[in-house]
């Protein structure tokens, strides 16, 4: 892609993102390969590289610089993801039972085969809502991170993480839950992340139990489901 075309595409992308109060600092060059990226409102991607073939990111999610979004299909609303993370790391990228773990040799061999090995398909990772991922975390492909979970810095996540669990370590292990079970169930049942952001900010978020009581008294006012979609093959921006 020549420089003038990239500048024009970046300008078009920024204009579309601005209307949805989103930002993608790397612009078009941050989308690697055949990518379809769907963003809800107020999503912030600070120097993030996107390799996912089809990824949707929920409203008000913030992902910090140098993070790679690989085999991941969805990231929920209100997530906070730290710097230098890898989400959806392919377990088969460096197969230790092959002759060599070198990517160049593996890719060349795959191209020469009539079809990939039966176990070569990758299952995307999914991230729930209100998930906090600390810096330097690796989450393997095929993992489900439950809503409200917290992943400690420098963790390697190889198993599913339940909603509102706090995990850390390499491999990551359960530390505790953020809340007791009844409150966890009430928070999940409330689906508070579907409510209008401006209304949520007026409620006592510092006290989850009081927040739920106040939320129950409000008439439903869902958050906007408007999105902006960027595809690289063919290259287009859809609002």
For residue 170 the two structure tokens come to 């390499």
Dihedral sign from CA coordinates of 194, 197, 198, 200: positive
Q: Using only C-alpha atoms, what is the Rg of the chain? A: 20
Q: How far apart, in whole angstroms, are the C-alpha atoms of residue 67 and residue 84? A: 5
Q: How far apart, in whole angstroms, are the C-alpha atoms of residue 39 and residue 58? A: 6
For residue 108 the two structure tokens come to 């060349």
Kind of pairing between the strands at 72-75 and 54-57: parallel
Coil, strand or helix: which one is 32?
Answer: coil
Give the phi and the psi of residue 145 in degrees, each rounded to 5. -105, 115
Q: How far apart, in whole angstroms, are the C-alpha atoms of residue 81 and residue 86? A: 10
Q: Catalytic residues, which ones?
A: 94
Q: How far apart, in whole angstroms, are the C-alpha atoms of residue 212 and residue 139? A: 31
For residues 87 and 67, is the Cβ–Cβ distance under 8 A? Answer: yes
Q: b or e along 98-112 (b: 16 or more beta carbons within 10 Å of the residue's beta carbon)?
A: eeeeeeeebeeeeee
For residues 100 and 47, is the Cβ–Cβ distance under 8 A? Answer: no
């Amino acid at each position: 892609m020549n420089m003038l075309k990239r500048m024009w595409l970046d300008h078009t992308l920024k204009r579309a993102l601005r209307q949805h109060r989103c930002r993608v600092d790397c612009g078009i060059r941050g989308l690697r390969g055949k990518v379809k990226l769907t963003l809800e409102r107020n999503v912030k991607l600070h120097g993030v590289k996107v390799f996912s073939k089809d990824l949707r990111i929920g409203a008000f999610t913030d992902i910090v610089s140098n993070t790679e979004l690989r085999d991941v299909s969805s990231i929920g609303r209100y997530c906070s993801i730290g710097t230098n993370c890898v989400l959806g790391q392919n377990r088969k990228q460096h197969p230790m039972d092959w002759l060599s773990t070198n990517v160049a040799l593996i890719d060349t061999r795959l191209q020469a085969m009539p079809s990939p090995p039966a176990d070569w398909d990758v299952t995307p990772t999914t991230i729930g809502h209100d998930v906090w991922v600390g810096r330097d975390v690796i989450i393997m492909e095929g993992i489900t991170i439950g809503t409200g979970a917290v992943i400690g810095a420098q963790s390697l996540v190889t198993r599913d993480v339940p909603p509102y669990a706090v995990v850390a370590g390499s491999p990551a292990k359960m530390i505790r839950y953020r809340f007791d079970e009844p409150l966890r169930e009430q928070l999940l049942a409330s689906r508070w992340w579907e409510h209008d952001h401006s209304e949520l900010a007026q409620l006592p978020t510092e006290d989850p139990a009081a927040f739920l009581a106040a939320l129950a008294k409000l008439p439903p006012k869902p958050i906007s489901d408007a999105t902006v979609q960027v595809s690289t093959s063919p290259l287009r921006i859809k609002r």
